[in-house]
Amino acid sequence: MAVSANRPAAANGLLKLDEITTYYGQMRILEGISLEVSTGELVCLLGGNASGKSTTLKTVLGIVRPRSGRVLLSGEDMTSWPVPQRIANGIAIVPENRRLFGDMTVRENLELGAVLGDGSTFAEDLGRVHDLFPRLYERRNQLAGTLSGGEQQMVAMGRALMSRPRLLLMDEPSMGLSPALVQQNFRIIKEVHESGVSVLMVEQNATMALSIADRGYVLSTGQIVLEGPASELLKSEDLKRAYLGR
Ligand SMILES: Nc1ncnc2c1ncn2[C@@H]1O[C@H](COP(=O)(O)OP(=O)(O)O)[C@@H](O)[C@H]1O
Ligand SMILES: [Mg+2]
């Protein structure tokens, strides 16, 4: 396929971060980060603690504004869009530590994921989430705070999926889960991805993340130090060095 060299964005480029630099106060956290997620891709963003992974996702969602650089959605510059506009245009997040409303039921938590919609697709969206996570239907009247870690992760994912996202951001989905649940969790993420949602996933568990991802990027103190197809990163000695900071 012939591709024009000076096209603004690839035809299938769903998300593009272009030279993003982000500060918290005087502290520069991201230093000129560029990354892309194509439609249908599952991309992981790896890196050690405090390397800027969550800040990158917050920049995509619009919670944090970059000092310079652009955030593009399907080629459209959304750098100045407020958060609700980004959600309305198909971005959803499964936040770090899930952030459920523990005193509300499973069903109520899922309803919250649909608040920006007009209600016309609510039943259909809820049905799709229940098809993906039958457990959430069984537990629909249970308070979210009383669920197991794995079930809470399902609620967080289900809540994000209620808005029919094109792009799902996930921040350390396996954090705090037992090894058996981590396995289950990654199977579910793979299933969500295969159902047609593009995913940008932050993880510290590099091997697991790369085992289901198409491509990966490695962040180290606010810079992308390594990127490539997941299969290549998995074999890479550079990954071990970059990731372990040696
Ligand atoms: N709201 C904030 N205000 C000031 N500094 C912050 C804030 N959030 C994160 N940081 C700092 O920014 C750096 C990157 O944080 P973060 O993006 O959360 O990293 P990661 O998700 O990779 O652990 C860390 O040094 C962290 O302490
Ligand atoms: Mg983080």
Q: Whose CA is nearest to atom 25 of ligand 1?
A: 50
All domains of the chain in start order, with CATH = 12-82+167-172+182-246 (3.40.50.300), 91-164 (no CATH)
Nearest C-alpha to atom 26 of ligand 1 is from which residue? 50
Task: Report d(CA 105, CA 138) in Å as an integer.
Answer: 12
Ligand nearest to the CA of 219: 1
* Tens-digit pLDDT profile for residues 193-212: 998 999 999 998 888 899 99
| Ligand 1 atom at minimum distance from 222 CA | 14
Q: Specify the higher pLDDT residue, 103 or 85.
A: 85
Name which of 10-14, 160-164, 218-222 the model is least confident about.
10-14
- According to DSSP H, which parts of the chain are helical? 53-61, 83-88, 106-112, 122-132, 134-138, 149-161, 179-194, 206-212, 230-235, 237-244
Identify the residue whose C-alpha is closest to ligand 1 atom 12.
29
Highest mean pLDDT among 128-137, 204-213, 214-223: 214-223
**Residue 222 near ligand 1, beta carbon < 6 Å:** no
Q: With 80 as the cut, is the pLDDT of residue 18 above it?
A: yes
Give the per-residue pLDDT at 244.
58
pLDDT tens, 63-79? Answer: 999 999 999 999 999 99
